[in-house]
Amino acid sequence: MSARRTVAVQPPRTCATAGAGSAIDGRLQAILERILAAELTTIGFPAARDIDYRPLAPLWGRLLNNVGDPNTDPLHTGHVHDLEREVLDFMADLFRAPSGWSGYVTSGGTEGNLYGLWLGRTRLSNSVVYHSTAAHYSVPKACHLLGLPAVEVTTTATGQMDYSDLTRKAARHRSRPAIVVATIGTTMTEAVDDVTHVHNALDVAGIRHRHVHSDGALAGVPLATTTSRPAFDLADGADSISVSGHKFFGTPVVCGIVLNRRKPEEFSPTVPYLATCDTTISGSRSGLATAMLWHATTSLGAAGHADRARRAREVAAYAVERLHHVGWPAWRNPLSFTVLLRPLPADMAATWPLPTEGDWSHVICMPGVETSHIDHLVDTLAAYASDPD
Ligand SMILES: Cc1ncc(COP(=O)(O)O)c(C=O)c1O
């Protein structure tokens, strides 16, 4: 009879060595202090900070992997596909999706644009992409990745696509289908391209086969909560639409959402080892980010987000008014949170890091930016202007 071998159960090995704990705490504390110290003057970037995500803390520490199609639960239990489906239903209502729509939670607006262009390329072979010069840099990058030819369309002074230029340029390729990316809130001026005008421009150019993707990374959600706004959602004629989750919803993990007016089945193979379908660009996807989106959408609802958007626009209007009052040139597009202003004096720019292109910088009055932030900026600016030394 052979001797029975016993296996001793070892305690989990940790990677930390003696003394490392306090060094790590120190580094993390320093990062937190750096972020908090800059909070009053960090108003140039589009991340809302008014929603409290701490109720999700109990989920932190467990892997939540939403791999695969949201409508098919994977084999493992560490996922929140149920929450993802609720988030997608909320977004489908918001963006007035027709029956038969599909979608998923992405890693951000960039993946949403890649997916929208991929959908267009899959539906319409030999197509040409049109996007404005103000489109996000992820758009030409996605065209490059997908091997799609891209044509840049000029914009008006405020950053909206010039539809006559779209007609002119599309007419040169009228024998080929068109994929048009409409930007719903451009990165610098928050200008909104109108999908109805895009369709009209393609009609005039004689192009029937088309896919319109709305890049709503910045302004898709807040605009959807208002009634008098440009046409951009699925009921308005977009074929796909994407948003970032960390912008208007302010999730503390970067993420996004993309919706497609059609079902994705025709090009989505099954993955036997996961028991799911491959309908997404990323394989593993963050369930934690999805839980955050679910928290933002269910705790506030469409009415709560409409209120947040209205309040943010009031702060933006206040900023323009205050800047004008001290003689500093400023303007904003209708319904936008973004306020364009002449670049700050160099001394101030070090404290207020405001994105700048050409003659204009911007502040973005995302929810969480209050009139006190604007007062601090404008009062400092007025003091500089009256005594530059
Ligand atoms: C208009 C627009 N599209 C896409 C993106 C990319 O989004 P993300 O940073 O979530 O990938 C941005 C980001 O600033 C944007 O402003």
Bigger pLDDT: 20 vs 270: 270
Residue 370 has pLDDT above 80, yes or no: yes
pLDDT band at 16 (very low <50, low <70, confident <90, very high): low
| Catalytic residue ranges | 336
For 155, half-sphere exposure in the C-beta direction (CA atoms, 13 angstrom radius) is: 19
Alpha-carbon span 180 to 164, nearest angstrom:
14
Mutate to test the pocket of ligand 1, among 136, 181, 188 (most ligand atoms within 8 A of CB): 136
Domains located in the chain, CATH noted:
41-50+302-386 (3.90.1150.10), 57-300 (3.40.640.10)
Mean pLDDT of 376-382: 96
Q: Report the separation in Å between the CA atom of 349 and the middle of ligand 1, taken as the mean of its atom positions.
A: 23
With a 6 A CB cut-off, is 136 part of the ligand 1 pocket? Answer: yes
Mean pLDDT of 57-78: 93
Which residue from 54, 44, 45, 48 is spatially nearest to 250, judged by alpha carbons? 48
Nearest CA to ligand 1 atom 7: 109
With a 6 A CB cut-off, is 217 part of the ligand 1 pocket? Answer: yes
pLDDT confidence of residue 210: 98
Q: Report the separation in Å between the CA atom of 244 and the middle of ligand 1, taken as the mean of its atom positions.
A: 7
With a 6 A CB cut-off, is 110 part of the ligand 1 pocket? Answer: yes
With a 6 A CB cut-off, is 256 part of the ligand 1 pocket? Answer: yes
With a 6 A CB cut-off, is 216 part of the ligand 1 pocket? Answer: no
CB 240 within 8 A of CB 267: no
Q: Report the separation in Å between the CA atom of 388 and the middle of ligand 1, taken as the mean of its atom positions.
A: 36
Alpha-carbon span 128 to 170, nearest angstrom:
9
**What residues contact residue 123 under an 8 Å CB cut-off, 6+ apart?**
211, 239
Distances from the Cα of 72 to the Cα of 69, 119, 161, 291, angstroms = 6, 20, 39, 17
pLDDT confidence of residue 2: 41
pLDDT confidence of residue 1: 38
Mean pLDDT of the chain: 93
Read out DSSP for 59-82?
A: GTTS--B--S-TTS--SSS---HH
Percent over 90 (pLDDT), the chain: 85
And the tokens for 89?
């239903």
